[in-house]
Amino acid sequence: MTNTSTFEEQNSLTPQLLYFRLSLMEGVLELYNSPYDPQEPVVCFDEPPVQLVSETRVPLPAEPGKPQRDDYEYKREGTCNLFAFFQPLQGWRHIKVTQHRTCEDFALCMQYLVNVLFPKAARIHLVLDNLNTHTPDALYQTFAPQEALRILSKLEFHYTPKHGSWLNMVELEFAVLSRQCLERRIPSVTELQQEIEAWEHQRNQNRVMVSWRFSTGDARTKFKRLYPTPSWSSSMWWTTRSRALSLRARPESLLLLPKYKGASSMNGQTLAASA
């Protein structure tokens, strides 16, 4: 369902800023449509928190015709964070479990991405949201300037717009992970790590892909009212689009797109990760 306040905020934008934000959306969609290049892999990145929970009573075991029964009481065991890397064009994913999600954690993940996951890549196209820790600044806060610059020279950030997290395919992987792995009480980071590793290994072995069916053409149809009309200058549109496609740093303000209930359907097309 469309969020009315979002449209009201869009109506207050200047044409220049609106065009730039639309360009960010199209940049991500065009990236998904590009052919696979091992020298320039596309990686979707994001991080959700996870609540660790333990039982206060021993569950009743399953019986014929009856599932395992858990007591409604539980004990909170703190939280942790999942950093996910998903390569949509190859059906590959990897998840790191950490205690926090600070700027330092993000910087270490970027170093891990460049040094360990894709050491031979010339450039890594990273799709991520505009969380306050997802900035090049985080690397300079964590590493020596030479190391920060070396890592950033291998990365090209493609930010999803504000309210546009459904553009990041890793969100679909999180939905499957939650349904298949996390919908039970997990008391410790160690057990969580074991569960995720088993889940990750099986999906990578099967090379499970995302069936992504929302294209730039669909976006121009769905958000037609936000695009320039013939009465407006088209040169401004192409100037801002070129600027967005060459974006290397986090913009000050990102596109406000309509909110949707979930991210499973767009323009009558299904966006779902295969279970």
Task: Name the band, by pLDDT with cuts 50, 70 and 90, for residue 241.
Answer: low
**pLDDT value, residue 173:** 93
> What is the domain partition of the chain in residue ranges?
4-52+74-273
Task: Name the band, by pLDDT with cuts 50, 70 and 90, for residue 12.
Answer: low
Chain mean position to CA 271: 14
Q: Which fold has domain 4-52+74-273?
A: Nucleotidyltransferase; domain 5 (3.30.420)
Task: Name the band, by pLDDT with cuts 50, 70 and 90, for residue 139.
Answer: very high
- The arithmetic mean of pLDDT across residues 4-18, rounded, is 57
**pLDDT value, residue 255:** 46
Greater pLDDT, 77 or 275: 77
Q: Average pLDDT of the chain?
A: 80
**pLDDT value, residue 242:** 57
- The arithmetic mean of pLDDT across residues 182-208, rounded, is 90
Q: What burial class does residue 107 get, using C-beta atoms within 10 Å of its C-beta: 0-12 exposed, 13-18 middle, 19+ buried?
A: buried
Greater pLDDT, 79 or 142: 142
The H or E element spanning position 85 is strand 74-87
Greater pLDDT, 220 or 20: 220
Q: Residue 24 is encoded by which pair of tokens?
A: 């960010």
pLDDT, tens digit, for every residue of 153-182? 999 999 998 778 889 999 999 999 989 888
Q: What is the pTM of this model?
A: 0.75
The dihedral through the CA atoms of 269, 219, 156, 104 has a sign that is negative
Cα separation of 231 and 252, whole Å? 28
Look at residue 68 and tell me whether its pLDDT is greater than 90. Answer: no
